[in-house]
């Protein structure tokens, strides 16, 4: 049968059992190992979150304009050449036009190969197996502040736009002019958590995604329902820190449209007697139509932390047809990192973590890092993105952020994009939010001392 390759755009013959989207040469090319990944250093991992967002927006919005300009240039050149000929040699106006074979277009270009992307929206929900810190949160509530990006890694409070400083400088103390985020309230016990795992997951999905869009999609029930749903809702969910009286379920069904099956956990893959504080379970979106060509595989990694070995749970999203994959690791790093408050110690620790992930071919990691990663690529998790009026009377892009640990002075929930050559983040919703910090409450009652976080990762293959 004849197909048109989606990468090189040529029409080629393929057999019925072969790929219907890529020709053999392109299939071989994209399935080769990606670009050489050098060992990441802390400097390489740093990435201004707002500058990166602006750059992606420019590339997306002006790509079509660039092509339109090429067309204009081609037409303008053709017209100017004809006009110049007529002015210099009026006699030629009555001569027949040159044959089509003699016409040359020096602006023509070969179509650029398409970029194949592999998306994986991931939600990480931590609990409090110690059953203490989240009760402290319930007594005092949580707070948030508004920060305005001023270029590079500098941010300023919305109420004092001129007082900018590095993003990391806002740690170890409350945000300027902070306001309540989650009010003082009660807390959930183990029985409540056990009965409400689905409700907790649903709350976070509804908070970050376009609910009406994926509900309408499910109602239509197209053949590729799973493929389209994974572009709108989390595809992978991690639950961390299991409560003794509330074991993680084998299945999550937050609503009739979404079902997640468990594919692995630290207990089943690495250590049957794992401490509940270190337990992590991984879930993936179930394909109701049995049409997906995607496979999921879970594996465990062990890394020596500051005081104790860390157990990582990794999920691989594999596309056998193209022989490509994306791997995300859900982590809860050693609590000893909470003492790494000095910059040099923290920078070295984050670099070591990233290099371990690099050596094990992990693309990204997210979870409870027990140290701040807001200045790293894939580590910035704001509550909300909006446009607000600042102290100077102008409208500014504004990030509403809150600290993600118990003392409301540090950010322990975060992540790192290790494979920066191929992986980036894309918008989760219409607001352009590619990473989100969510809440730690259900019906205003606290269930954790850390908020859930969500990121939408995209891996590119040229």
Q: What is the pLDDT of residue 78?
A: 41
Q: What is the pLDDT of residue 169?
A: 85
152: Cβ contacts below 8 Å, ≥ 6 apart? 48, 51
Q: What helix, strand, coil percent values describe the chain, rounded to 5?
A: 30, 30, 40
Give the closest residue to 402 by CA, choosing from 393, 415, 394, 411. Answer: 411
What span, in angstroms and rounded, lies between the C-alpha atoms of 392 and 153? 21
The answer to whether 390 touches 148, Cβ cutoff 8 Å, is yes
Q: What is the pLDDT of residue 61?
A: 53
What is the radius of gyration, based on Cα positions, of the chain?
26
Which residue's structure tokens are 């219907």?
20
pLDDT tens digit string along 271-325?
Answer: 999 999 899 999 999 998 887 889 999 999 999 988 889 999 999 999 988 888 9
What does each of the 462 residues of the chain score in pLDDT, given as a tens digit? 788 887 777 888 877 767 778 887 787 776 666 667 788 899 999 888 888 777 776 665 555 455 555 544 444 444 444 444 444 444 444 555 555 555 555 565 655 566 788 999 999 999 998 777 888 888 888 999 999 999 888 999 999 998 889 888 888 788 999 899 998 889 999 999 999 999 999 999 999 999 999 999 999 999 899 999 999 999 999 999 999 899 999 999 999 999 999 999 999 999 999 999 899 999 999 998 887 889 999 999 999 988 889 999 999 999 988 888 999 999 999 988 988 878 889 999 999 999 999 999 999 999 999 999 998 999 999 999 999 999 999 999 999 999 888 777 788 999 999 999 999 999 998 888 899 999 999 999 999 999 999 999 999 987
Give the closest residue to 240 by CA, choosing from 189, 206, 193. Answer: 193
DSSP 35-101: S--PPP-HHHHB--HHHHHHHHHHHHHHHHHHHHHHHHHHHHHHHHHHHHHHHH-GGGGGSPPPPGG
What span, in angstroms and rounded, lies between the C-alpha atoms of 180 and 31? 49
Task: Say how many residues make up the chain.
Answer: 462
103: Cβ contacts below 8 Å, ≥ 6 apart? none
Q: What is the pLDDT of residue 2?
A: 85
SS3 for 368?
Answer: strand
Which letter, b or e, does each residue of 446-461 get, where b requires 16 or more Cβ atoms within 10 Å of its Cβ? bbbbbbbbbbbbbbeb
DSSP 190-239: HHHHHHTHHHHHHHHHHHHS-HHHHHHHHHH--TTHHHHHTTTS-SEEEE
Q: What is the pLDDT of residue 74?
A: 43
> Maximum distance among all alpha carbons in the chain?
96
What global pTM score does this model have?
0.84
What span, in angstroms and rounded, lies between the C-alpha atoms of 170 and 157? 10
């Amino acid at each position: 049968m004849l197909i048109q390759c989606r990468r090189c755009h040529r029409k080629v013959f393929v057999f019925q059992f072969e790929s219907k989207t890529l020709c053999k040469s392109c299939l071989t090319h994209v399935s080769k190992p990606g670009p050489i990944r050098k060992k990441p250093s802390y400097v390489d991992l740093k990435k201004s979150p707002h500058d990166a967002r602006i750059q992606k927006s420019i590339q997306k919005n002006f790509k079509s304009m660039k092509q339109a300009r090429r067309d204009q240039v081609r037409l303008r050149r053709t017209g100017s050449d004809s006009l110049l000929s007529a002015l210099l040699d009026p006699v030629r106006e009555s001569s027949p036009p040159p044959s089509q074979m003699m016409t040359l277009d020096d602006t023509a270009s070969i179509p650029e190969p398409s970029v194949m992307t592999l998306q994986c929206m991931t939600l990480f929900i931590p609990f409090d197996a110690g059953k203490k810190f989240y009760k402290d949160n319930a007594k005092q509530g949580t707070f948030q502040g508004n920060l305005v990006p001023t270029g590079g890694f500098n941010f300023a409070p919305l109420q004092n736009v001129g007082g900018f400083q590095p993003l990391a400088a806002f740690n170890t103390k409350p945000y300027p002019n902070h306001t309540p985020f989650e009010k003082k309230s009660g807390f959930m016990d183990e029985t409540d958590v056990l009965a409400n795992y689905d409700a907790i997951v649903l709350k976070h999905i509804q908070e970050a995604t376009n609910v009406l869009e994926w509900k309408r999609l499910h109602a239509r029930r197209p053949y590729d329902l799973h493929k389209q749903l994974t572009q709108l809702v989390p595809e992978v969910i991690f639950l961390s820190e299991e409560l003794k009286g509330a074991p993680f379920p084998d299945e999550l069904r937050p609503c009739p449209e979404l079902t997640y099956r468990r594919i692995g956990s630290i207990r089943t893959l690495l250590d049957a007697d794992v401490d509940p504080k270190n337990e992590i379970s991984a879930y993936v979106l179930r394909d109701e139509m049995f049409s997906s060509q995607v496979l999921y595989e879970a594996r465990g990694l062990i890394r020596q932390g500051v005081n104790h070995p860390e157990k990582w749970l990794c999920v691989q999203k594999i596309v056998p047809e193209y022989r490509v994959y994306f791997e995300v690791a859900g982590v809860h790093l050693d609590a000893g990192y909470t003492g790494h408050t000095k910059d040099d110690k923290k920078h070295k620790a984050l670099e070591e973590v990233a290099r371990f992930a690099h050596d094990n071919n992990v693309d990204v990691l997210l979870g409870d890092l027990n140290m701040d990663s807001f200045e790293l690529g894939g580590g910035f998790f704001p509550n909300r993105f909006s446009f607000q009026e600042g102290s100077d009377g102008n409208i500014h892009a504004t990030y509403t952020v809150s600290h993600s640990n118990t003392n409301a002075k540090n950010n322990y929930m975060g992540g790192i994009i290790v494979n920066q050559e191929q992986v980036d983040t894309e918008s989760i919703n219409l607001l352009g939010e590619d990473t989100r910090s969510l809440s730690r409450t259900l019906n205003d009652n606290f269930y954790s001392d850390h908020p859930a976080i969500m990121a939408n990762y995209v891996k590119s293959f040229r």
